Amino acid sequence: MIDPSRHILDAFRSRTKKSAILNQRAQAVLPGGDTRSGVFFSPYPVYMTHGAGTQVTDVDGNVYLDFLNNYTSLVHGHAHPTLLAAAREQLPHGSVYASPLTGQIELAELICTRVPGVQLLRFTHSGSEATGMAMRAARAYTGRDDIIRMSGSYHGSHDWAGASCDPDRDRGIAAGIHQHIHWVPYNDLVEAERALEAHSATTAAIVLEPVPNSGGIPVPLPGYLSGLRALADRFNVLLVFDEVVTLRLHEGGYQKLSGVTPDLTAMGKIIGGGYAVGAFGGRREIMQQYDPRTPGAIMQSGTFNGHAITTAAGMASLRLLDQPAIDRINALGDRLAQGFDEAFVEAGIPGKTSHVGSLIQVHWHAGPVNNMEEIGAGFAAVGQLPYMHHLALMNRGLFSAARGEFCISTVMESTDIDRAVMLFSEALQDVKPLAAQLSESGAR
Ligand SMILES: Cc1ncc(COP(=O)(O)O)c(C=O)c1O
């Protein structure tokens, strides 16, 4: 039988010969030739060499419109002049001094002013550390160990975040951790209540992304987040929002947009202006546990926490990302989602998007996508189709996440969106033979 994806793979390999060679070389020193599982895709990831504004260029000289933006963190695109100037101004003065820095105060003040649930905060190196520290704060404050998480959720790479609903898959994660995590489906208040009824005596917090971005962007049903807030209060557990990604959706994060204020918030990505960063913050009395003057204070240190280049660029990033800028990219997100939806209809291939503002997810079925179980089942049913479409997009000069995630940066214009819709549509034509084979085989 003829492989219906052969033309896509052949085109990819012939355009990315230098990346293939680099991947071979890298495999000798980096497992799989990579250092971030999330950026790997088959047959091999391309090696990008530079980025400018809306575009990235790979080692073979292929130029891509970048709708990934380092997994949403580069909200102002690549090498934005204002962010560059902020970093450059700091560079000659050194990077860190093992002392608190004024840049940390300024960035913390700005975040505390904007984000309703954050009265005090601390910086970390990454979003992973931020979610880990927020969980630790919740456990220390309540004196309980357990966490309620959404099945299929992503909160980074530490053990409490890396643990999944399937312990057999979680190699290397201490088995004991699984006993302390209770899984509930997103968008399901009944199951959340049930979990709390069973485990509230041992549960410190409900932890979730208000809109699970890596979970395929199921949109919160009306009353869901406020319902979780009410349950947390009723059962006396903390509500922790992971806003590492969703902070970009409003000046005050998704908590401001939804009107639901969590007890603790984890942040990252956009607050670092393109450099490694994380932060966690929340109600004063919870965060006060990190005050070194407090007896029994929680220890949280990190050689590069609140790095001067990061805070300088982060400050510039957040100042640029005011509400009008956010409203603009959210509107561009609406336009992209609508264009992709229309492209599916036009191509006669089942599929649709879900999206919130500037964050867009493509699904390869037309059914409900209210939680990560539904979204995961949809992906499982279509095998290689999303991944071949991703390669077809790359062949046509559009860079996105292999799992069908797209995001908008502030340097994009409506012409970039329209171009992306056109490329998306053309790439759907590229995968039509594969889609037809799937539907003939009864896979859907
Ligand atoms: C929702 C969410 N939480 C936490 C993290 C971890 O952040 P980092 O990669 O900076 O460790 C990510 C990273 O993509 C994320 O998407």
pLDDT in tens, 75-106: 999 999 999 999 999 999 999 999 999 999 99
Percent of the chain past pLDDT 70, that is, above it, reads 99
* 243 C-beta closer than 6 A to ligand 1: no
- Say yes or no to pLDDT of 431 above 70: yes
- Round to whole Å and give the CA distance between 109 and 41: 39
Calculate mean pLDDT across residues 323-346: 98
Residue for token pair 């209060």 = 233
Residue 348, both tokens: 């006669």
361 has which bridge partners?
A: 354, 405
Residue 242 annotated to the active site? yes
pLDDT grade, residue 443 (50/70/90)?
low
Q: Which amino acid is at 259?
A: G
Q: Give the closest residue (by CA) to ligand 1 atom 16.
A: 245
Which of 47, 269, 290, 430 is catalytic? The answer is 269
CA dihedral sign, ordered 16, 21, 24, 28: negative
Query: What φ, ψ does residue 150 adopt, rounded to 5°?
Result: -90, 130
Kindly report the protein residue whose alpha carbon is nearest to atom 4 of ligand 1.
155
166 — pLDDT class (breaks 50, 70, 90): confident
**Residue 191 CB less than 6 A away from ligand 1:** no
Q: How far apart are CA 250 and CA 323, in angstroms?
A: 7
Domain residue limits, the chain: 6-75+323-440, 81-320
Nearest C-alpha neighbor of 304 from the set 276, 267, 272: 276
* Ligand 1 neighbourhood includes 310 CB (under 6 angstroms): no
Q: Which atom of ligand 1 is nearest to the CA of 268?
A: 10
- Which ligand 1 atom sits nearest the alpha carbon of residue 277? 10
Ligand 1 proximity of 252 Cβ (cutoff 6 Å): no
Give the mutation target among 39, 128, 153 for probing the ligand 1 site: most ligand atoms within 8 A of CB. 128
Q: What's the pLDDT at 444?
A: 59
Q: What is the pLDDT of residues 183-221, one digit of tens each?
A: 999 999 999 999 999 999 999 999 999 999 999 999 999
269 is catalytic: yes
DSSP string, 18-37: HHHHHHHHHTTTSGGG-S-G
Report pLDDT for 42. 94
- With a 6 Å cutoff on the Cβ, whether 62 touches ligand 1 is no
> Distance, CA 335 to ligand 1 centroid (Å)?
26
- What value does the mean pLDDT take over residues 98-125? 97
Distance CA 67, CA 390 (A): 12
Residue whose CA is at the smallest distance from ligand 1 atom 3: 155
The pLDDT assigned to 440 comes to: 85
Q: Which residues, including other chains, have CB under 8 Å from residue 222's CB and lie 6 or more apart?
A: none
Question: pLDDT, tens digit, for every residue of 39-60?
Answer: 999 999 999 999 999 999 999 9
Q: How far is the CA of 184 from the centre of ligand 1 (A)?
A: 20
**What is the overall mean pLDDT for the chain?**
96
Give the position, in ligand 1's atom list, of the atom nearest the Cα of 212: 1
In this prediction, residues 315-325 reach a mean pLDDT of: 98
Residue 425 token pair: 């549509």
Mean pLDDT of 109-128: 98
Q: How far is CA 170 from CA 30, 158, 411, in A?
A: 21, 12, 39
Q: Is 107 in contact with 318 (CB distance < 8 Å)?
A: yes
Q: Using the mean position of ligand 1's atoms as its centre, give its distance from the Cα of residue 73 in Å.
A: 10
pLDDT of residue 2: 80
Q: Is 226 exposed, middle or buried (0-12, 13-18, 19+ CB in 10 A)?
A: middle
- CB of residue 245 inside a 6 A radius of ligand 1: yes
Q: Which of the listed residues 269, 275, 372 should we mutate to test ligand 1's pocket, taking the one with most ligand atoms within 8 A of CB?
A: 269
Name the residue of 68, 155, 217, 280 whose CB sits within 8 Å of the most ligand 1 atoms, as the mutation to test its pocket: 155
Is 254 a pocket residue for ligand 1 (Cβ < 6 Å)? Answer: no
Q: Determine whether the shortest distance from the Cβ of 71 to ligand 1 is under 6 A.
A: yes
Q: What is the pLDDT of residues 352-401, one digit of tens each?
A: 999 999 999 999 998 999 999 999 999 999 999 999 999 999 999 999 99
**Percent of the chain beyond pLDDT 90?**
95
- Say yes or no: CB of residue 128 within 6 Å of ligand 1: yes
Strand runs labelled E in 390-438: 398-399, 405-407
CA–centroid distance, 161 to ligand 1, in Å, is 10
Q: Which fold has domain 81-320?
A: Aspartate Aminotransferase; domain 2 (3.40.640)
Q: Is 334 considered catalytic here?
A: no
Pick the CATH number of 6-75+323-440 from 3.30.70.420, 3.40.50.720, 3.30.365.10, 3.90.1150.10: 3.90.1150.10
Ligand 1 centroid from CA 2, angstroms: 40
pLDDT at 296: 93
From CA 265, how far away is CA 255, in angstroms rounded?
9
Dist CA 17 CA 3 (whole Å): 22
Give the whole-angstrom CA distance, residue 135 versus residue 404. Answer: 29
CATH topology identical between 6-75+323-440 and 81-320? no
Count CB neighbours of 240 within 10 A. Answer: 30
The per-residue pLDDT for range 240-284, each reduced to its tens digit, is 999 999 999 999 999 999 999 999 999 999 999 999 999 999 999
